[in-house]
Amino acid sequence: MSTKKDKFLESAQKFIAKGQLDRAIKEYAQIVALEPGDIRLRQKLAELLVRVNRKEEAIAEYEVIAKHFSRDLFYLKAIAVYKQVQKLDPANIKPGKRTRHIRNSFAWPFFSGKGVMKGDPQGSGKGCTPSSPTTGILTMQYSLRR
């Protein structure tokens, strides 16, 4: 037996195949209303919105997606979504601020090159060299065990 969600998905896929993106967006909006926690469906909705040049609505969906990823500790995915938002609206400074907040809040060795926690075992300020990108990660793990 098919659920409402399955019927809406099937209908949306048919509309996409026919090139009727506005109708597909309506179907995806109904699916997202039924299952607001399904990020894949919300992302598909955002992509369709971008295709029909409804950027403001797409940005709103991408914001929800990025916050979900950030809350669930998928920081790199959150940063990737914020970069998509920046491409859609280069004048918007919020995604850049949120990306910097994620990078600065968590002492990730591959985001910065200063300090022991960020890949500099001697504290010289040089950080990881480009020829050895894993040095910072290993150093961080080693320094946390001490």
* Tens-place pLDDT, residues 85-105: 889 888 877 777 777 777 766
Residues 47 and 95 in one domain: yes
Average of per-residue pLDDT across 107-124 = 49
pLDDT value at position 93? 73
Range with the poorest average pLDDT among 13-17, 58-62, 72-76? 72-76
128: pLDDT strictly greater than 50: no
Residues 116 and 136 in one domain: yes
pLDDT value at position 70? 86
pLDDT value at position 22? 94
pLDDT value at position 2? 59
Residues 95 and 64 in one domain: yes
Residues 113 and 102 in one domain: no
Q: What is the DSSP letter of 73?
A: T
Average of per-residue pLDDT across 35-53 = 94
SS (H, E, C) 49-104: HHHCCCHHHHHHHHHHHHHHHHHCCCHHHHHHHHHHHHHHCCCCCHHHHHHHHHHH
pLDDT value at position 106? 64
pLDDT value at position 135? 45
Residues 116 and 99 in one domain: no
Indicate whether this model's pTM tops 0.75. Answer: no
pLDDT value at position 28? 94
138: pLDDT strictly greater than 80: no
Taking alpha carbons only, the member of 18, 98, 35 closest to residue 63 is 98
Which residues constitute the domain of residue 23? 4-106
Residues 127 and 101 in one domain: no
Which three-class secondary structure state does DSSP give residue 121?
coil
CB-CB contact of 41 with 31 (8 Å):
yes
Residues 91 and 118 in one domain: no
Number of independent structural domains in the chain: 2
Average of per-residue pLDDT across 13-33 = 94
Q: How many angstroms separate the CA atoms of 83 and 97, rounded?
A: 11
Residues 84 and 12 in one domain: yes
More confident residue, 75 or 54: 54
